[in-house]
């Protein structure tokens, strides 16, 4: 048992849509990291969950003719069931409608209010109901939301604001002082670029005249909490909040894993919120790219969503996990197709690994009486041993850098070394039967 501690979070998924490949990728990567650290003997806490408040959920539930809570219950259960079927090994599952979460959100809000970090102000601006946020002139594209490409609505209202602007210099300094705080580097650069412009204070409330579905502000119950301010706190509330032994154990080691679409809230809002609340910053913000299907971004608005579950069911969880971790360079976008999946599974799993497993077991059965032989090492054995050591080292280094494709490539180099025919060695296909026939994915 090592004395290392590893706390890993996925985003809590917004319950406005059923789980899809984008969610599955983040969660499967997180699961692989958690498994890796457990194998290393680390003390691991792996959190996922669902984000359930805000305009978007209230509107979707109204359209579906059910209460927001009933709607959130249904979608949250669908996420939970998806992770169960994919064999995800999360230690906890947080929902933002749970009392344990609301309590910590209200406590942090009260602390910030008493510390003078929050004030009442008036704000008018172009608002997107889909994004649940105001857009600045610079962000608006042709008068529309840059994300939804739908018209914006001008809204003016009194709201509570978090004094985020005062943390701009601190945040820039922190990102520069810790080069791997946000990784890979392209996302760090994106945030440093964003921070060249003045940072605005953050509106953290919504009047209940417009929105009921949220956590009431503890110091003014005419307002509910802005959904992002509420949601980000899940990473702390799931540990019971400051003072809880679980929080004290795991928070100092927190690693966040997110998709690039939610970079800004995690790289800007969240660090400032933590700083203002007197809580330590995360160790790393790990950011991945999108899966492209037919060249488009992977999201429900594009309409070409792959049913992650269907493919995992068809090919098996391990094979599916292998493909998405081997195919995508962490941080960059990648193309998804079932054809590419089948080709890789056949080449790498059925052929390379399947061949190795088949040969090794045949050799052990036919030539060693079914027992792995121990004893004097031949030069071939030593070469294989050295290749194994190299694979362990390279795979470990790559995992630490979230370079999953390289970690797997390092292991497959070892597979290739063992599969290689050598003069004087037993013929490669000694079993007589080509193992590919039995193993192929179709």
Catalytic residues: 20, 23, 128, 131, 145, 148, 297, 300
Is residue 261 near Zn ion by the rule CB under 5 A?
A: no
Number of neighbours of residue 296 by Cβ within 10 angstroms: 13
Smallest distance from the beta carbon of 403 to Zn ion, in angstroms? 33
Q: Which is nearer to Zn ion, 146 or 278 (CB)?
A: 146
Of residues 12, 34, 131, 202, which one binds Zn ion by CB under 5 A? 131
Helix (H), strand (E) counts: the chain: 18, 15
Stretch that binds Zn ion, among 63-71, 114-122, 148-156, 362-370 (CB under 5 A): 148-156
Rounded-to-integer distance, Cα 30 and Cα 316, Å: 18
Q: Are strands 133-135 and 118-128 parallel, antiparallel or unpaired?
A: antiparallel
Q: Which is nearer to Zn ion, 98 or 147 (CB)?
A: 147
Q: Are strands 205-207 and 334-335 parallel, antiparallel or unpaired?
A: unpaired
Of residues 38, 43, 78, 130, which one binds Zn ion by CB under 5 A? 130
Spatial CA neighbour of 58 closest among 133, 149, 129: 129
Q: Which is nearer to Zn ion, 35 or 264 (CB)?
A: 264
Q: Is 410 exposed, middle or buried (0-12, 13-18, 19+ CB in 10 A)?
A: buried
User: Considering just the CA atoms, what is the radius of gyration of the chain in Å?
Assistant: 25
Smallest distance from the beta carbon of 145 to Zn ion, in angstroms? 3
Stretch that binds Zn ion, among 66-74, 141-149, 209-217, 326-334 (CB under 5 A): 141-149
Check if the beta carbon of residue 9 is closer than 8 Å to that of residue 255. yes
Check if the beta carbon of residue 50 is closer than 8 Å to that of residue 13. yes
Number of chain residues interacting with Zn ion (CB under 5 A): 6
Smallest distance from the beta carbon of 28 to Zn ion, in angstroms? 27
Is residue 145 near Zn ion by the rule CB under 5 A?
A: yes
Of residues 18, 98, 147, 255, which one binds Zn ion by CB under 5 A? 147
Q: In what order do the strands lie in the sheet with 92-95?
A: 92-95, 43-51, 5-14, 254-259, 284-288, 182-183
Q: Which residue has the tokens 């790393």?
A: 284
Smallest distance from the beta carbon of 127 to Zn ion, in angstroms? 9
Q: In what order do the strands lie in the sheet with 220-225?
A: 205-207, 220-225, 216-217
Q: Which is nearer to Zn ion, 147 or 333 (CB)?
A: 147
Number of neighbours of residue 334 by Cβ within 10 angstroms: 18
Smallest distance from the beta carbon of 150 to Zn ion, in angstroms? 7
Rounded-to-integer distance, Cα 230 and Cα 54, Å: 10
Q: Which is nearer to Zn ion, 260 or 405 (CB)?
A: 260
Which letter does DSSP use for residue 371 in this model?
S
Of residues 4, 84, 148, 186, which one binds Zn ion by CB under 5 A? 148
Stretch that binds Zn ion, among 44-52, 128-136, 228-236, 286-294 (CB under 5 A): 128-136
In DSSP terms, which residues pair with 293 in a beta bridge? 296
Is residue 152 near Zn ion by the rule CB under 5 A?
A: no
Stretch that binds Zn ion, among 52-60, 144-152, 216-224, 248-256 (CB under 5 A): 144-152
Q: Which is nearer to Zn ion, 128 or 211 (CB)?
A: 128
Stretch that binds Zn ion, among 56-64, 121-129, 333-341, 379-387 (CB under 5 A): 121-129
Smallest distance from the beta carbon of 390 to Zn ion, in angstroms? 49
Q: Which is nearer to Zn ion, 144 or 283 (CB)?
A: 144
Of residues 29, 128, 350, 395, which one binds Zn ion by CB under 5 A? 128
Q: Which residue has the tokens 């590919």?
A: 436
Rounded-to-integer distance, Cα 203 and Cα 134, Å: 9
Give the binding site for Zn ion (CB under 5 A): 128, 130-131, 145, 147-148
């Amino acid at each position: 048992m090592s004395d290392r501690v590893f706390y890993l979070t996925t985003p809590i998924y917004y319950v406005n849509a059923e789980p899809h490949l984008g969610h599955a990728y983040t969660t499967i990567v997180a699961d692989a990291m958690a498994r890796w650290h457990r194998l290393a003997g680390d003390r691991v806490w792996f959190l996922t969950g669902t984000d359930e408040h805000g305009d978007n959920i209230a509107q979707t539930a109204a359209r579906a003719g059910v209460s927001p809570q009933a709607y959130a219950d249904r979608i949250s259960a669908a996420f939970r069931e998806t992770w169960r079927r994919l064999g995800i090994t999360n230690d906890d599952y947080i929902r933002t409608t749970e009392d344990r979460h609301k309590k910590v959100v209200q406590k942090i809000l009260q602390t910030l209010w008493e510390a003078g970090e929050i004030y009442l102000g008036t704000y008018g601006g172009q608002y997107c109901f889909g994004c649940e946020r105001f857009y600045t002139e610079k962000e608006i594209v042709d008068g529309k939301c840059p994300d939804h490409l739908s018209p914006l609505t001008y809204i003016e209202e009194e709201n509570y604001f978090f004094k985020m602007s005062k943390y701009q210099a601190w945040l820039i300094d922190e990102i520069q002082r810790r080069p791997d705080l946000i990784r890979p580097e392209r996302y760090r650069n994106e945030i440093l670029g964003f921070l060249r412009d003045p940072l605005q204070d953050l509106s953290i409330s919504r009047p209940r005249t417009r929105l009921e579905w949220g956590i009431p502000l503890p110091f003014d119950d005419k307002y509910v909490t802005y959904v992002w301010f509420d949601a980000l706190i899940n990473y702390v509330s799931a540990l019971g909040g400051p003072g809880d032994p679980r929080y004290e154990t795991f928070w100092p080691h927190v690693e966040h894993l997110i998709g690039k679409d939610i970079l800004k809230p995690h790289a800007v809002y969240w660090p400032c919120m933590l700083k203002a609340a007197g809580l330590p910053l995360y160790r790393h913000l790990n950011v991945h790219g999108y899966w492209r299907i037919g060249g488009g971004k992977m999201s429900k608005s594009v309409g070409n969503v792959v049913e992650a579950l269907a493919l995992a069911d068809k090919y098996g969880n391990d094979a599916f996990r292998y493909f998405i971790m081997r195919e995508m360079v962490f941080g960059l976008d990648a193309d998804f197709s079932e054809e590419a999946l089948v080709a890789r599974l056949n080449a790498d799993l059925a052929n390379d690994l399947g061949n190795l497993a088949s040969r090794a077991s045949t050799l052990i059965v036919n030539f060693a009486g079914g027992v792995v032989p121990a004893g004097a090492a031949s030069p071939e054995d030593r070469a294989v041993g050295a290749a194994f050591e190299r694979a362990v080292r390279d795979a470990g280094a790559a995992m630490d850098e979230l370079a999953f494709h390289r970690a797997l490539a390092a292991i497959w180099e070892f597979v290739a070394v063992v599969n290689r025919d050598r003069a004087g060695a037993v013929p490669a296909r000694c079993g007589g039967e080509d193992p590919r026939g039995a193993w192929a994915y179709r």
